[in-house]
Structure 1
Amino acid sequence: MNLLLFAGSLRQDSYNRKLLAVAKELLSEIPDITVTVADLKTLAFPVYDGDIEAAGMPESVKSLGQMIQAADGLVIASPEYNASISSPLKNAIDWVSRLRPVPFERKPVLLMGTSPGAFGSIRGLGYTRAPFETLGSFLYPQPFAVPKAAEAFSPTGDLVDPATKQKLKTVLQNYVYFAHSLSGK
């Protein structure tokens, strides 16, 4: 099973990139899982603009679309911006949704995130569900959020609390089962 992971944050040292790195490590322990990580910062999408689209779909959008199309599932770690979806993630979704066929359609998606606040991006993940539902993705019903991100990660980027890491491992294992049941792989 091929999983594509990406963060909804562009900042190099973002907590969500750290969470994604921990998820990648835990997923690598599961047999028959291949993990690819996409970087929205490197892909450098312009802000969605119909005039740019009319002039020709940016290659970076086509590239992410191909990665999504090739994946059996998506794991996305995203912060919340003002208790809502992060703008880099929303922009990526908007661009990729313009491709045909729509790469997000029928893709199992796990949403997770972290933020410095006590809710750990859970409010934003609620809003993040909407575009994926509209595009026909299959959302894993249990998002995963890590509160107080500034305290949650060690200097090396690992989760400090063993119980939080174990919970993430369980969510990832359950998500793989969910994605597997939908893809038949």
Structure 2
Amino acid sequence: MKNIIAFTGSTNPNSINEKLLITAINKLPKDSVNLVQLSDKNIPIYSQKIEEEGIPKPIKELFQLFTKADGFMIASPEHNGLLSAFLKNIIDWLSRVDQKFFGDKPVLLMSTSPGEYGGASHLQTLGNLIPYWAGNLTSTYSLGDFNNKFDIENLTISDPIEGSKLNEAIQAFIK
């Protein structure tokens, strides 16, 4: 894949999910991944009233990036067992442009948290929805116990078993 769009569903400037995403990106050839900082875009909370005025420009631009992508890497934080409201808002807007916004392209879902399960419960829910938006879910990866299994200084997974699991998820994604 030559053009992968990568993003997180987090607005936290010190996001552990973004750190995990960067770790995954670093395992791929340079210049093959476009890390999109969604939190830098001014995107209003979806409402029909705002939609009547037109799709916001940042969503139109993001959708254009999606049409040119070969695949998607998403690191989604878990908020109370679900995806973040921020990520859901992005999805709501994209689906108003085109319900099938992933365009039958591969999707890798990831999550991490300080907790034992690393956000795995919401990845299952989100993974079940990906085909609804015409995404081809190739793999998921969740890293639990982030504080003990991740080397923040080097942006690497310090647990060799977990590192292998991430590599397997990436290989399934790029095949």
> TM-score, normalization: structure 1?
0.86
Q: Which amino acid aligns with 1:52?
A: I
Write the deviation string for residues 150-180 of structure 1: whole angstroms up to 9, x where unpaired.
2222231322223322321222022100xxx
Aligned position for 1:153 = 150
Number of aligned residue pairs? 173
Rounded Cα–Cα distance in structure 1 between residues aligned with 2:51 and 2:128:
23
Aligned position for 1:12 = 13
Q: Which amino acid aligns with 2:23?
A: V
Compute the displacement of 1:101 (Å). 7.3
Kept after mapping to 1: 8 A contact 2:99/2:133: no
Query: Cα–Cα, structure 1 residues 102 and 148, in superposed 2: closer, same or farther, change >3 Å?
Result: same
> TM-score, normalization: structure 2?
0.91
Aligned position for 2:29 = 28
Uncovered stretches (5+) of structure 1, i.e. residues with no partner:
178-185
Q: Which amino acid aligns with 1:46?
A: P
Compute the displacement of 1:139 (Å). 1.1
Q: Percent identity?
A: 35
Q: Which amino acid aligns with 1:54?
A: E
Rounded Cα–Cα distance in structure 2 between residues aligned with 1:172 and 1:155:
20
Compute the displacement of 1:63 (Å). 1.4
Uncovered stretches (5+) of structure 2, i.e. residues with no partner:
none
CA RMSD of aligned residues (A): 1.7
Aligned position for 1:180 = none
Aligned position for 1:82 = 80
Kept after mapping to 2: 8 A contact 1:97/1:104: no
Rounded Cα–Cα distance in structure 1 between residues aligned with 2:170 and 2:80:
27
